């Protein structure tokens, strides 16, 4: 995923954390009011904290976004580094051929066999409203020691930094 330096300095930490995570879970609300998550390849986080995705115009998530005030959640996890990010925002479906051309990559052809001119190809643009992250700066061994120590002492382990960021 491409990430660009953020205009909002508070989102810079989020950008650095999600920059190496290509697949995120996008959550919408389905027709029955249930939360529904699916893996999505993030194409870009632009300088405004906006996340960009390709999707099919006929995908149920496009209708779900429109029916539920455009509210979505995007969740990132890098388990090996114990880094986690949850982004709440609003999504919109749009067709912008210049942006499609900019973001097109060979992996997308698997979902859009007619290439960037596929009539079912559209963009999802997710504007970040709030992001919360959990960042463990310690190694796996240190984290395991902290967890074991906490279990023995009956305390809660200190597992790193947690912060909410508003955009």
What does each of the 167 residues of the chain score in pLDDT, given as a tens digit?
A: 888 888 888 899 999 999 889 899 999 999 999 999 999 999 999 999 999 999 999 999 999 999 888 999 999 999 888 889 999 999 999 999 999 999 999 999 999 999 999 999 999 999 999 999 998 765 444 444 444 555 666 766 565 678 788 88
Q: Phi first, then psi: give them for residue 96, nearest 5 degrees.
A: -135, 100
Is the pTM value of this prediction over 0.85?
Answer: no
First to last CA, the chain: 20
Beta carbons of 3 and 24 less than 8 angstroms apart? no
pLDDT for position 152: 66
pLDDT for position 7: 86
pLDDT for position 8: 86
Give dist(CA 130, CA 89) in Å, integer. 7
In angstroms, what CA-CA distances link 42 with 6, 15, 59, 148, 156? 16, 12, 17, 36, 34
Three-state secondary structure call for residue 153:
helix
Residue 63 sits in a domain of what CATH number? 2.30.110.10
Domain that holds residue 132: 2-166
Number of domains in the chain: 1
Three-state secondary structure call for residue 86:
strand
């Amino acid at each position: 995923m491409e990430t660009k330096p953020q205009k909002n300095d508070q989102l810079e930490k989020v950008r650095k954390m999600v920059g190496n995570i290509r697949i995120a879970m996008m959550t919408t609300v389905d027709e029955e009011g249930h939360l529904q998550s699916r893996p999505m390849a993030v194409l870009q986080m632009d300088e405004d904290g906006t996340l960009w995705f390709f999707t099919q115009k006929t995908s149920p998530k496009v209708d779900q976004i429109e029916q539920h005030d455009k509210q979505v959640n995007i969740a990132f996890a890098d388990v090996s580094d114990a880094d986690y990010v949850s982004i709440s925002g609003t999504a919109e479906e749009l067709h912008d051929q210049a942006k499609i051309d900019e973001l097109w990559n060979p992996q997308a052809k698997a979902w859009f066999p007619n290439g960037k001119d596929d009539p079912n190809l559209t963009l999802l643009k997710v504007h970040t409203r709030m992001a919360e992250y959990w960042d463990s700066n310690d190694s796996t061994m240190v984290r395991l020691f902290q967890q074991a120590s906490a279990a023995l002492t009956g305390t809660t382990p200190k597992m790193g930094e947690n912060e909410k960021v508003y955009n």
